[in-house]
Amino acid sequence: MDTESLKQQAGEAAVALAIRPSMVIGLGTGSTAVHATRQIGRLWQEGALPGIVAVPTSEATAQEAARFGIPLGTLDDYPCIDVTIDGADEIDPHFDLIKGLGGALLREKIVAVASRRMVIVADARKQVARLGSRAPVPVEVVRFAERPCTDHLTALGARVAKRMGTDGQPYLTDERNFILDCHFADIANPAALAQAIRQQPGVVEHGLFLGLATDVVLATPGGIQVLHRA
């Protein structure tokens, strides 16, 4: 089965697992989470999810949800979210994550922290023994602070690359910030690294999502696996 079909399976399985009528739902961003948004949209249109309202984690997700007519809200009106379904770039055995390759890590983390439950959807390739094995740690920084933030992250041991867009210009987040992709040779202590990254003024947020995921729905060639944090 191709990767896109596996992603769709994971997204749809997460919706079946976690979404019920009248919930406030966080809609994640990325190539796997979008399948969950589409499934929620289809169920909404069929009348199977009355009373829901969704808080999207990016402008792209908001546009996708609007295609299905999903009722949208903000954290001003719905500060407590029942469940968020989102993707991940890496998942370690403790359910700690690297997120942000889709460029929405700031809003994703804000929504995740506001959620009672966070369900991660991914294909099995995203499982790693240790964070940083494959993916860089994205760090969102204000443009004014690019140089001091780059120097700070380099001093922490990262090989830092400013993310560029498909147009050859620096990638800008929904908040109009830069993203610095930080490749670490070894992340032995994610919590300590997360704390160290935040010490530099100008760092807005980082892609280490620690202690937030409650469930993981993995699509594998052998079928769907649902994992729950102990």
Residues with a known catalytic role: 108
Measure CA 224 to chain center: 20
Cβ-Cβ contacts under 8 Å for 106 (sequence gap 6 or more): 140, 173, 174, 175, 177, 204, 205
Q: Which 3-state string (H, E, C) describes the chain? A: CCHHHHHHHHHHHHHHHHCCCCCEEEECCCCCHHHHHHHHHHHHHCCCCCCCEEEECCHHHHHHHHHHCCCECCCCCCCCECEEEEECCEECCCCCEECCCCCCHHHHHHHHHCECCEEEEEEHHHECCCCCCCCCEEEEECHHHHHHHHHHHHHCCEEEEECECCCCCECCCCCCCEEEEEEECCCCCHHHHHHHHCCCCCEEEECEECCCCCEEEEEECCEEEEEECC
Integer Cα distance of 130 and 150 in angstroms:
24
